[in-house]
Amino acid sequence: MPADETDVARVAEQLGRVPRGDFDVVVRDDDADPMVVRNEPLLDDGTPMPTRYYLVSPSLVRDVSRLEAAGGVRRAEAAVDAALVAATHRRYAVERDAALPAGYAGPIPSGGVGGTRTGVKCLHAHLAHLLAGGDDPVGQWTLDHLDEVR
């Protein structure tokens, strides 16, 4: 279900900007505050949006940013089998592309998780995918290592 005005306003506050496309909130915290949104594959102006799942929880964004700053991307890429990462990217792209409008013939999003073609680029996108129910071993690695930066 598309986000209502309250969710759009709250996500804009969390992001520090107005979202550029339609989304729905797929994960909420215990207070019903948005944690993860699922973006439509096209922004309002038709630009492809490769990031299907986006982490909007300020505390999680902060913690994942700290993990990335501490070498988390490189560590996750070394720890998670490359074949599993590649399979995750493929599944993510298939799901996202299935949400394109029927008969759509314009430019489409590319890559897998967060638009990544190979390897690991953004732990935020992988964690968002995992929290939204995706089978994402990099997201799981990220979740397992958050206590290091808290």
Instruction: Supply the pLDDT for residue 2.
Output: 87
127: number of CA atoms within 13 Å, CB side? Answer: 25
Can you give the pLDDT of all 150 residues of the chain as single tens digits? 789 999 999 999 999 999 999 999 999 999 999 999 999 999 999 999 999 999 999 999 999 999 999 999 999 999 999 999 999 999 999 999 999 999 999 999 999 999 999 999 999 999 999 999 999 999 999 999 999 999
Token pair of 86 as six digits: 């590649």
Question: CA 112 → CA 34, 65, 89, 98, distances in Å?
Answer: 23, 20, 4, 13
Sheet holding 23-28, edge to edge: 23-28, 34-39, 53-55
Instruction: Supply the pLDDT for residue 83.
Output: 98
Each domain of the chain, given as residue ranges in start order, spans: 5-149
Q: Using DSSP, state whether 25 is helix, strand or coil.
A: strand
Helix axes 137-145, 123-131, angle to 10 degrees: 100
Token pair of 48 as six digits: 């492809």
Token pair of 107 as six digits: 């430019």
Q: Using DSSP, state whether 26 is helix, strand or coil.
A: strand
Instruction: Supply the pLDDT for residue 1.
Output: 77
Instruction: Supply the pLDDT for residue 66.
Output: 98
Instruction: Supply the pLDDT for residue 105.
Output: 94
CB 38 within 8 A of CB 16: no
Instruction: Supply the pLDDT for residue 15.
Output: 97
**What one-letter code names the amino acid at 86?**
A
Q: Using DSSP, state whether 32 is helix, strand or coil.
A: coil
Instruction: Supply the pLDDT for residue 32.
Output: 97
